[in-house]
Structure 1
C-alpha cells in the first residue's frame, strides 16, 4: 500500500486513528477483491469517508464518490480524492441541492457495480430517474437507519430488484457508531457552537432509537435534565426505565431548552410546537435529513430572521420569543461550523463493515433482491479487528462449552 504522509494530504492526521481500515487496505492490496469492480460511494465527503474511499481503491476498485448532503462537502478532501488515481469525485464545496442531484445522475451514468450509500440516495435515484437502470448493479450497502427504511419501502413497493445489506442494523453499528459516535459528536458540536453547557438544562430528545438513546444518555451523564418523546411504546418504556422523562412533544415543547431530533422522520418539530416553545429555546437535528424541524414554517411565522453567528439562525416570533436553529436544521454534527462528524475511531469500524459488506456482494454467494442483514461472521470480524487495534483480549469457548451450547441434551455433556 502506498504511504501518504504529505502535509497537503487532508486525511493524513486521521490515518493512525483508523486501524481497521488500514488492516483491510493492506489485506486488500494483496488479494484485490474489487479488481475490475466500480464502487459508487455516496456519503459525507469528509476525511474519514476519504480514507474509506481510498481503502476500496487500494483493494482494486475504481471508486466514484459523491456527497449525500451539500453542507458536508469538504473541499480539500474532494480535491485530494479527485487527484488520486482510481478515484473520481462528483461533488464540490458550495454546491446546491440541484447541483448534487445532477452529480448523482452523472455518477450513475457511469454504471457502477456496487453502491455504498448513506441514506440510500443513489439507490433511490436509480428507480426515480427513468433514464437510469439497475442493470449491472450487483448490490448496495447502506449505513443509516433512514437509508435502510427507504430500501425496505422500495422492497415493499415491489421496486427493489437488487440485494441491499443493512449495515446499519448490525450490533457493531448500533452499539458503537449510533450510540457513541452520534451522541458525542452532536452534543460536542452544540456546546462549542453555542458556547453553552448542558449541565442543569432541560434537553428534549425526539426519538429513542440507538441514536436518540446515545444523545439522551450522554446528555444526562453531563448533568442535563432529559426528556424523550417517542411514537413507539416499546422505545418509550425503555426510555422511561433508563431514567428519562417521557412526554408527548406538545408537553415537551413547553419545558425544553435544547431540542435534538433523532427520528429519521419529517416535521417532528412544527407549528403547533413552535407556539409552545419557551423564549431562548435551541433546536437542532441529528436525524438523516433536514426535514425533522419544519424550518420553512418557522421562518414564515417569524417576525424577524437573523444569522446570529455562523451556524446559528435566530427566529424572533411576533410575541417576542427568540428561537435559535443550529446548522439550518441539517445534521448538526456534520454541517455546523465546528462539525467534524463522528470521531475517526467510530467511523473506522462502520466503514470497515461497509467494506466487508461490499466485498461480500462481489466475491460472496449471490443473493436475492431485498434487504438483508449483514452476516454475523462479518460483524464479528469487525469487532475482532477493533479489539486488536485497542489491545483488548477476550476469552474463547472451550470445546466442552461449545458442545454444551450447541446441544439440547446437556446432561450427557457435563
Structure 2
C-alpha cells in the first residue's frame, strides 16, 4: 500500500483519537453499520481531499465499510493530525497522503497521488482536488460519477466552474445542506475558532475588542461565542442584509478600516481574498492578533504585511508569528493565516461533524443511485435525506418531536380555509 505520512509510529495515539471521536458520532456509526451490510459503494474508487482529522477518519472508515476503495489526502497544509494519518494507514489500511506543515509542493504532490488512484467519486474540502482534475487530468472526466464539496469556499469555486461551463461531472454541495451549514459552520466553526485562538495565544477574551469579518453562518457562530466569553464584538460586512442582521443581533457593525483601529483580535471568515489589507495593518493597534478561519490563506494579505515589517519573528509561540512594523508596533499572525481552528487546534468537535460526515456518506450513495441522471451541475441533496439525518441525530440525543395530524396536513396544503 502506497502512502506518505509523517511517522507510522504515531498510530497507537491516532487510533485512540479516532475511537474517541467515534463515540460522539452516532449518526455516522448507524450509517457505517448499514453500509457494512449493504455495501452500496462496492468496487467504487474514491479519492477524498479533506482535513485529516479523527472525525474524517471515521468518515473514510464508513466509506470503506460500504465497499469503497478509498484514499485520503489533506485539503490544507496545516490541518493534518499526523497520528490520525498513521492510524488510518496501519490500523484501517486506508492510504493517506498528508503531513502537517507540508510545503506547497508536497501538498500538490499528495493531491496528485490521490488523483492517480483514478477515482469514480471524489470528495473535496475547498475544491482543490476537483480543480486539479479538471485542469490537468481530462482522461478522468468521463469516469467520475460525481463529487462532494464540504465547504463554502469550495462551493463558490464550483458554482463559478458551472457558470463558465468547465464542470465535467455533477457535484453535491454538501456545505449547502441544512444539516451541515446550520450546525457545522455555526456551532463547529464558532467553538473551534476560539479554541485555536486561545491555544495559540493564551489570550483572555473577556473585555477584548474582537472583530469578525463576515456574518455568514461561520461568522454568526464565531461572533456569538466570542460575545459569550465576554468579548466586545464588532462585525464587518459587505452584504447589507447580513449587516442589518448583525446589528439587530446586538453587534456593532462598521467598516473594517474603522473596526481595526479598536481591535485586539481580528478574524476573517468570508471566503474572499484580501479582507485584511495594507491600509488595515497600517492603523491596527500594537499587539493586535490577526487570524483567519476561512478555507484558504488568502483572506489576509500576508505579502502586504511582510512588506510593512522591518522584522519578522517566527514562532514566538506555537503558531504565532510576530511582525514588527517601522513605528515599533507589533502585529501577531496566527497559524500562518491558514485555518486557525485546524492549524492551532483540532477542528470542529466530533458531535457536530457527525451530521456533516453523515451527509457526505449519504451523498456518495445518492450519486451512485442516480448514476447517469445528474447533469454537470452543482446540486443540493433532496430534503428527505436531510430530514433523515436530522431525525436520526434527534433520536441519538433522546429527543422526540411532534407529527402533523391529518387535519393539519390538509390545512397546510389547502387554500380554501381562511379567516
CA distance in 2, matches of 1:190, 1:96: 23
Aligned to 2:266: 259
Deviations 1:323-346 (A, max 9, x none): 11111111110011xx11000001
TM-score, structure 1 length as denominator? 0.94
Aligned to 2:248: 241
**Equivalence map 1:238-387=2 (5 Å):** 238-306=245-313, 307-336=315-344, 339-364=345-370, 366-387=373-394
Aligned to 1:226: 233
Tell me the CA shift for residue 87 of structure 1: 2.4
CA distance in 2, matches of 1:397, 1:120: 40
What SS is found at the alignment partner of 1:303?
strand
Residue 89 (structure 1) aligned with residue 104 (structure 2): no
* Residue 41 (structure 2) aligned to one of 34, 39, 46: 34
Contact 1:268 1:293 in 2 (8 A): yes
Deviations 1:156-176 (A, max 9, x none): 111012111111112221221
CA distance in 2, matches of 1:265, 1:294: 11
* Residue 27 (structure 2) aligned to one of 20, 25, 35: 20
Tell me the CA shift for residue 305 of structure 1: 1.1
Tell me the CA shift for residue 53 of structure 1: 0.5
Aligned to 1:410: 417
Contact 1:63 1:86 in 2 (8 A): no
* Residue 399 (structure 1) aligned to one of 399, 403, 406: 406
What SS is found at the alignment partner of 1:255?
coil
Contact 1:207 1:262 in 2 (8 A): yes
Tell me the CA shift for residue 90 of structure 1: 2.3
Contact 2:27 2:355 in 1 (8 A): yes
CA distance in 2, matches of 1:319, 1:113: 56
Please list every run of 5 or more consecutive structure 1 residues that lacks an aligned counterpart in the other structure: none
Contact 2:61 2:92 in 1 (8 A): no
CA distance in 2, matches of 1:111, 1:8: 28
Please list every run of 5 or more consecutive structure 2 residues that lacks an aligned counterpart in the other structure: 1-10
Count the aligned residue pairs: 406
Tell me the CA shift for residue 190 of structure 1: 1.1
CA distance in 1, matches of 2:153, 2:378: 13
* Residue 101 (structure 1) aligned to one of 91, 104, 108: 108
CA distance in 2, matches of 1:358, 1:125: 20
**Equivalence map 1:108-257=2 (5 Å):** 108-129=115-136, 133-257=140-264
Contact 1:183 1:218 in 2 (8 A): yes
CA distance in 1, matches of 2:229, 2:91: 42
Contact 2:148 2:174 in 1 (8 A): yes
Aligned to 2:395: 388
